[in-house]
Structure 1
Amino acid sequence: MTIAADRSLDFYHLDAMISPEERDVRDRVRAFCDEEVVPIINGYWERGEFPFELIPRLATLGLAGGTIQGYGCPGLSHMAVGVAAMELSRGDGSIETFLGVTSGLAMGSIYRLGSEEQKQRWLPAMARLEKIGAFGLTEPYVGSDAAHIRTTARRVGDTYLLNGAKRWIGNASFADVIVIWAQDEETGKVGGFLVEQGTPGYAATVIGGKIAKRALLNAEITLTNCEVPEANRLPLARSFRDTAQVLKATRFGVAWEGVGHAQAAFDIARAYALQREQFGRPIAAFQLVQQKLVQMLGELTAIQLLAWRVTRLLDEDASQVTEGMASLAKQTCAAKARQVVALGRELMGGNGILLENHMARHFADMEAVYTYEGTNEINALVVGREITGLQAFV
C-alpha cells in the first residue's frame, strides 16, 4: 500500500512560535524534500550512494552557512537553521547531515577559527555549495575521548606534516576542503588544518556496510606525511576547547534532526493507522494503536518544545546557552526521537521494515543521530558536570 503522510497536525501550534521568515525557510525546505528528496532517496539509501544531482537545487534554498553573516552566507536566525534541519531530516537524514557537515562543522570552523584570507577564500563558494566541506575529528581509536586525538602535526619550515587517521568523516571522499584536527608535536595542543582534496598524503576510503545514513558517504581518512602549508592552519584553533566550541554551536541543530525524524515517524504512523484496515476497520480505531500514537505525540511534542526553547535562547543571546544546555538538548531529543521511531516501526508491523514505506529509513538513521555529535552517555556527563560541578569523565 502507498502511505500518504498527513503533515497537517500541529498539536501544540508550533507554527505560532516561529516568525513568518522562519516559516518561509521551513516551507521551502519542506517542498524541496517532498518534491525532490522523498521520491528518490530510498534507492540511493539502499545502494549506499549519495544523490549528487540534488546539490544544485539544495544550494538554491540558501541554507549553507546558516547563521554566518557576510561572505555570501545567508545570516539566518538559529531558529531558521533549526527548522530547516528538522525538515531536511523529516525528508532524509543523509541529506541533512551532508549539509550540516559542510555548513555547520566545516564552515563553522573556518568562520570561528580561520583567518580573514581563509574566510574569503572558502566561505562564499561553500555558501553556494560549489565547494563542499568535511570535518575530521573522530579517529579509529579515539571517539568520545576527542581531546586526546592521535593524529599529529609536525612543523617543517613553512609547512606542517600531518600523520594519522580519521574515521566516520562525512563527505571526506569528495569534499573540496577537510578540516583536520591534529595534535601539534611542538606544543601538544590540538589545532585545525585545512586539507584540500588531492593533497599528496591524503586518502579517503568510503566505509561500507552501514545500517544508518546509508546515502551519506562516510570515509576513513589516512594521512601520511600530508603536507599542509602554514597558510592553511586555522590561526584561532589553539586547543581542544576551540574545537569544542564548534561542536557546541552545532549541537542544537542535531537536536532538531531528532525532532525531524520523530515528526516523520509520527506522520507516517498516523497516516498508516488511518489507512490500514484489519478486522473490518482502520487500525487507528483500536485502543492499543491509539495508545502508541499518543505516546509518540507526547514524546514528539516534548522535544519540539525543548529544541524550540534552546534555539530561542541562542537567538536572544548565544552566550547564555551553556555547553550543558546544548548537550541536554541533543541528548534528550535524540533519545526521545529514537523511542518515537521505534514505536512507529512497531505500529506498522512488517510493513514498518520496508523501505517503500519510509519508516525503516528513519528508524535506522536515528541510530546514527543517537550516537554522533557526542554519544548519549558523553552528553549526559557534560550536563552532569554542569549541574553538580563534579567531573565524571575518566
Structure 2
Amino acid sequence: MTFEPLASDFYSYESLLSDQEKEALARLRAWLDSDVRPIVAGYWDRAEFPMQVVKPLAELGAYSFSWEETRPFENSAVFRGFVAMELARVDPSVATFVGVQNGLATGSISVCGSPEQRAEWIPKLASGEIVGAFGLTEPLSGSDSAQGLRTTATRDGDSWVLNGSKRWIGNATFSDITVIWAKDVEDGQVKGFIVPTDTPGYTATKIEGKVSLRAVQNADITLDHVVVPESLRLQNANSFRDTAKVLRLTRAEVAWAAVGTAVGAYEAAVKYAGERVQFGRTIGSHQLIQDLLVKCLGNITASLGMVVRVSEMLDRGEQRDEHSALAKAYTTARMRETVAWAREAVGGNGIVLEYDVARFFADAEALYSYEGTREMNTLIVGRAITGTAAFV
C-alpha cells in the first residue's frame, strides 16, 4: 500500500519511519478512514463504544507492545507513537481504548509480569481475544496514587483478598481482565494483580454524563473481598516505583495522542476553511483564518518534534520520567490551544458534531487531565531541574 505523508506533518517527521513501518501505518490509516471515521460521531453522541473495531485493530498490529512474543513485526517507539497519533487524529476515544489495552493493561504485564504471566496473557491481549483495563485511580486518590491508595491487598495463604474501589477506569465495563493496583497491608507497598472481571465481588458500573471521550466506557469499580491467587499477582510489581515504570511508557504515548487530537481538529478546520464561503470567497483566503491555522500548525509541529525525540530516547534506553512528563505536560497544553483555535476558525459550526471539530475540542479536556495532570507532570520535571521535590 502506498504511503502518503500527512500535510499536517509539516517537517516530515514520518520520513524517520522504516519502509515496513510506513506500509503498516498506511494500512491503519486506510482502515481508519474507511471503517472508523464515518461512524465515530454517532458512537460519541450515544456514549457507546464501537466494539467492532477491537479485532481489526489487533489484526493491524495496534496492540503490539514492545515485547518480542507479541509484535507482528519489528517496530520502534517512534512508530508506536505515530500509531497513537494516527488513531487520535480520527478519534481520541479509539486511541484511548488502544492506550489502555496496549499500553496500560498489556504494558503492566509486560513490565511487571513474570515470563509465565507474559506468555499466558500478552498473546490474548495482542490478538484482541480478551480486553484489558488498568485500575489505579480511586475516588479519593488520583494525583497522590503513589502514597494515597486505599484499595488493600491482604495475603491469605496462596491467595490475596482485595478490597476497595477504583474510578475512571477505561474499558472496564467490558474488559475481561483488569490490572488492579492495591496496597499490601503487611508491608505498605503497592502491588499489581491480574483480576478476571468475572471474579466474585468485582463489579464495574459505567460513569454516565461525561462531556469528553464519551465513547470511552469509564467505570467505577468496587472490590468486595475479591480473591485472586498468588499466580495472578504481578511478580515484578513490588512497589509504586514499578507502577511508575508502566506510566512512564504510556505517558509518552498520551503525548502522541494529544498531538493526534490537535491534528484532527486542525485538519477539520483546514477542510472547512476551503469549503465555507463568506463575503464571496472561501474563509481560508481571509488573513484572520490563515493566522489561526498557522498557529495550529506551529503548535502541532513543535509538539511533534518533542514526542519524536522522546520516543527516540526510549528506543535508545535514555528516556527518564521527566522526559515523558515534560512531553505530556507540553503537548496537552498546546493541544488545548490548538483545538480552541480550530473551533474558532469553524465558527458556530464548530460546536456541532457534523464538522468534527467539536468532538476533538471536547475530547481534549480528558487527555489534558489523564495520565498525570499538567501540574503533576510539571512537578516531576521541576524536581529534575532543581533536585527538590515540591509535590506537597
TM-score range, shorter chain: over 0.9
CA offset at residue 73 of structure 1?
A: 5.8
Aligned 8 A contact 2:101 2:132 in 1: yes
Aligned 8 A contact 2:65 2:106 in 1: no
**Pick aligned residue for 1:332 from 316, 330, 333:** 330
In structure 2, what is the equivalent of residue 241 of structure 1? Answer: 241
In structure 1, what is the equivalent of residue 65 of structure 2? Answer: 66
In structure 1, what is the equivalent of residue 159 of structure 2? Answer: 159
Aligned 8 A contact 1:67 1:74 in 2: no
What are the Cα deviations for residues 19-57 of structure 1, in whole angstroms up to 9, with x where unaligned? Answer: 222222322221121111110011111101011112122
Q: Distance in 2 between matches of 1:71 and 1:266?
A: 34
User: Larger deviation: 259-268 or 183-192?
Assistant: 259-268
Percent identity, please.
Answer: 50
Q: Distance in 1 between matches of 2:71 and 2:19?
A: 23
In structure 1, what is the equivalent of residue 30 of structure 2? Answer: 31
CA offset at residue 63 of structure 1?
A: 2.0
Aligned 8 A contact 1:181 1:191 in 2: yes
Q: Secondary structure at the match of 1:348?
A: helix
In structure 2, what is the equivalent of residue 313 of structure 1? Answer: 313
5 Å-filtered alignment, 1:124-135, equals: 124-135=123-134
5 Å-filtered alignment, 1:6-85, equals: 7-71=6-70, 74-85=73-84
User: Larger deviation: 288-297 or 11-20?
Assistant: 11-20
CA offset at residue 306 of structure 1?
A: 0.7
For residue 99 of structure 1, what is the amino acid of its counterpart?
V
In structure 1, what is the equivalent of residue 374 of structure 2? Answer: 376
CA offset at residue 167 of structure 1?
A: 0.2
112 and 7 in structure 1: CA distance in 2 versus 1, 3 angstrom threshold = closer
Q: Distance in 1 between matches of 2:168 and 2:372?
A: 13
1:98 and 2:110 are equivalent in the alignment: no
In structure 1, what is the equivalent of residue 144 of structure 2? Answer: 145
234 and 74 in structure 1: CA distance in 2 versus 1, 3 angstrom threshold = farther
Q: Secondary structure at the match of 2:39?
A: helix
CA offset at residue 77 of structure 1?
A: 1.1
Q: Distance in 2 between matches of 1:87 and 1:9?
A: 12
Aligned 8 A contact 1:66 1:73 in 2: no
For residue 24 of structure 2, what is the amino acid of its counterpart?
V
For residue 76 of structure 2, what is the amino acid of its counterpart?
S
For residue 384 of structure 1, what is the amino acid of its counterpart?
G
Gaps in structure 2 of 5+ consecutive residues:
none
Q: Distance in 2 between matches of 1:334 and 1:9?
A: 17
For residue 365 of structure 2, what is the amino acid of its counterpart?
E
Aligned 8 A contact 2:326 2:378 in 1: yes
In structure 2, what is the equivalent of residue 356 of structure 1? Answer: 354
For residue 322 of structure 1, what is the amino acid of its counterpart?
R
CA offset at residue 13 of structure 1?
A: 2.0
Q: Secondary structure at the match of 2:37?
A: helix
CA offset at residue 9 of structure 1?
A: 4.8
How many residues are treated as equivalent by the alignment?
387
Q: Distance in 1 between matches of 2:10 and 2:248?
A: 30
Aligned 8 A contact 2:8 2:263 in 1: no
Aligned 8 A contact 1:331 1:380 in 2: yes
In structure 2, what is the equivalent of residue 3 of structure 1? Answer: none
CA offset at residue 72 of structure 1?
A: 5.9
Q: Secondary structure at the match of 1:160?
A: strand
Q: Secondary structure at the match of 2:302?
A: helix
TM-score w.r.t. length of structure 2 = 0.96
For residue 331 of structure 1, what is the amino acid of its counterpart?
A
In structure 2, what is the equivalent of residue 194 of structure 1? Answer: 194
CA offset at residue 166 of structure 1?
A: 0.2
For residue 10 of structure 2, what is the amino acid of its counterpart?
F
392 and 226 in structure 1: CA distance in 2 versus 1, 3 angstrom threshold = same
75 and 209 in structure 1: CA distance in 2 versus 1, 3 angstrom threshold = farther
CA offset at residue 278 of structure 1?
A: 0.4
In structure 2, what is the equivalent of residue 255 of structure 1? Answer: 255
Q: Secondary structure at the match of 2:155?
A: strand
In structure 2, what is the equivalent of residue 209 of structure 1? Answer: 209
Q: Secondary structure at the match of 2:33?
A: helix
Aligned 8 A contact 1:72 1:124 in 2: no
Q: Distance in 2 between matches of 1:183 and 1:380?
A: 26
Stretches of 4+ aligned residues off by more than 6 angstroms: none
TM-score w.r.t. length of structure 1 = 0.96
